[in-house]
Amino acid sequence: MTTLPDFSKAMISVDFLGLQLRNAILVGSGLLTDQERNIRRLIQAGAGGVVTKTIHPSPPRGLDERVFRIPTGMLNSTTYSKRSVEEWIEMLRHFASDRLPVIASIHADKPADLADLASQIAQSGVRALELGISCINEEDGIEDTPQRIFAYTVAVRKATTLPFLVKLGIGEGLEPRLYAAIAGGANAITLSDTIPAATISPVSKQPELGGVFGYSGPALRPLVVAAIWRLRQKGHKIPISGSGGVTTGLDVHEYLNAGANTVQVYTALHTRMIDTLQDIVSSYRGFSSFHAGSEQIVADNKTEA
Ligand SMILES: Cc1cc2nc3c(=O)[nH]c(=O)nc-3n(C[C@H](O)[C@H](O)[C@H](O)COP(=O)(O)O)c2cc1C
């Protein structure tokens, strides 16, 4: 008996950074991707790949990192994984020996330190990296200039042959920052990291979490979609992983139609992590097979309800 190939699966698999992903949906970096067990469960539940919580050579100490839910998403004051580099290398070795599509997110205080970290992490057998260099939750915030992005990117490019994404935030000067990442040797970018936001407590009259921290969630999506669309209109060809505000499979299609090559989902998974991911993946697959053969899927938000 002849077995027909499974076209529905073949159509949505993507080659991204040399990784053969079964679909374009990646779980973005965050608290949920800080444990081996969660990462395995997310892949088993249907994620095309998972980006780890950002690994840093000097893990943060103390317990003052928090998340604060608001009706339109989440504010968080987290920075980097509290696990040591050695612990991560061990975990990444396990993923590599099982050929799991895991991307290691990394950052350090200086470009030379990030280059060292990249070469150490590469020894685990991991197949791709994401430079989590645009986190706004550091003590004094960051000024994300093209010079800074170039310095980090080129240092890592010299240290490893692994493909890597550079994670950028939307906002002022995005195009010069993108040029800096490309000039430094990035294979792809992730757009966007969280953006600066605050909500003021009516009781204390002070910002919740004590200051301005990263916003994530649905309101980010149209902003990032617009930024990606504009970059494509201007002719930028670099692969882009869209990130911000995905809650449904239709949102994933919206990003792909705007010009993203893969799409990351994070905050939505803070509610019913596995069930939510499965819903997103299956509705994404549903729209993919429904529209098979048509060139573009028109994201019609009315159909989301
Ligand atoms: C609690 C929390 C922790 C996060 N930690 C990281 C991190 O360690 N590294 C990183 O690059 N992005 C981190 N992010 C950003 C997400 O990966 C993602 O880019 C962003 O939240 C936008 O996508 P979303 O709206 O789907 O969450 C974090 C986000 C949240 C909410």
Residue 208 has pLDDT above 90, yes or no: yes
Residue 62 has pLDDT above 50, yes or no: yes
Separation of 216 CA from ligand 1 center, angstroms? 7
Residue 64 has pLDDT above 50, yes or no: yes
Say if strands 73-76 and 102-106 run parallel, antiparallel, or are unpaired. Answer: unpaired
Q: How far apart are CA 31 and CA 10, in angstroms?
A: 31
The mean pLDDT of 247-258, rounded to a whole number, is 97
* Domain CATH number, residue 275: 3.20.20.70
Q: Tell me the three state secondary structure of residue 6.
A: coil
Q: How confident is the model at residue 12, as a pLDDT?
A: 87
* Residue count (the chain): 305
Output the DSSP codes for 122-141: HTTT---EEE-TT-TTSTT-
Say if strands 102-106 and 129-131 run parallel, antiparallel, or are unpaired. Answer: parallel
Residue 293 has pLDDT above 80, yes or no: no
Q: Does residue 71 sit within a domain?
A: no
Q: Does residue 152 sit within a domain?
A: yes
Q: Does residue 208 sit within a domain?
A: no
pLDDT tens figures, 148-198: 999 999 999 999 999 999 999 999 999 999 999 999 999 999 999 999 999
The parent domain of residue 139 ranges over 7-61+79-198+215-304
Q: Does residue 209 sit within a domain?
A: no
Separation of 3 CA from ligand 1 center, angstroms? 42
Q: How confident is the model at residue 297, as a pLDDT?
A: 41
Say if ligand 1 is within 6 A of residue 27 CB: no
pLDDT tens figures, 130-140: 999 988 887 66
By alpha-carbon position, which residue is closest to atom 30 of ligand 1? 30
pLDDT tens figures, 84-136: 999 999 999 999 999 999 999 999 999 999 999 999 999 999 999 999 998 88
Q: Does residue 167 sit within a domain?
A: yes
Confidence of residue 61 (pLDDT cuts 50, 70, 90): confident
Radius of gyration of the chain (CA): 19
Say if ligand 1 is within 6 A of residue 241 CB: no
Q: Which atom of ligand 1 is nearest to the CA of 217?
A: 25
Q: Which residue has the higher pLDDT, 265 or 305?
A: 265
Q: How far apart are CA 121 and CA 164, in angstroms?
A: 12
Q: Does residue 149 sit within a domain?
A: yes
Sign of CA dihedral 111, 113, 116, 120: negative
Q: Which atom of ligand 1 is nearest to the CA of 67?
A: 1
Say if ligand 1 is within 6 A of residue 153 CB: no
Structural domain total, the chain = 1
Q: How far apart are CA 110 and CA 128, in angstroms?
A: 20
The reported pTM is 0.92
Mutate to test the pocket of ligand 1, among 216, 225, 252, 254 (most ligand atoms within 8 A of CB): 216
Average pLDDT, the chain: 91
Long-range contacts of 171-174 (CB under 8 A, 24+ apart): 171/195, 173/145, 173/146, 174/227, 174/231
Q: Which atom of ligand 1 is nearest to the CA of 268?
A: 26
Separation of 243 CA from ligand 1 center, angstroms? 9
Q: In terms of C-beta density within 10 A (0-12 exposed, 13-18 middle, 19 or more buried), how is residue 82 classed?
A: middle
No. of H helices and E strands in the chain? Answer: 9, 14
Q: Does residue 139 sit within a domain?
A: yes
Separation of 74 CA from ligand 1 center, angstroms? 10
Q: Tokens in use for 30? A: 């965050």
Question: Half-sphere exposure of 19 toward its Cβ, with a 13 Å CA cutoff?
Answer: 31
Q: Tokens in use for 103? A: 């991307």
Q: How far is CA 204 from each of CA 2, 199, 207, 208, rounded to the nearest angstrom?
A: 69, 11, 8, 9
Q: Does residue 169 sit within a domain?
A: yes
Percent of the chain with pLDDT over 90: 84
Q: Where are the alpha helices (DSSP H) in 70-173?
A: 85-97, 111-122, 146-159
Q: How confident is the model at residue 76, as a pLDDT?
A: 95
Residue 48 backbone dihedrals phi, psi, to 5 degrees: -70, -25
Mutate to test the pocket of ligand 1, among 38, 80, 129, 194 (most ligand atoms within 8 A of CB): 194
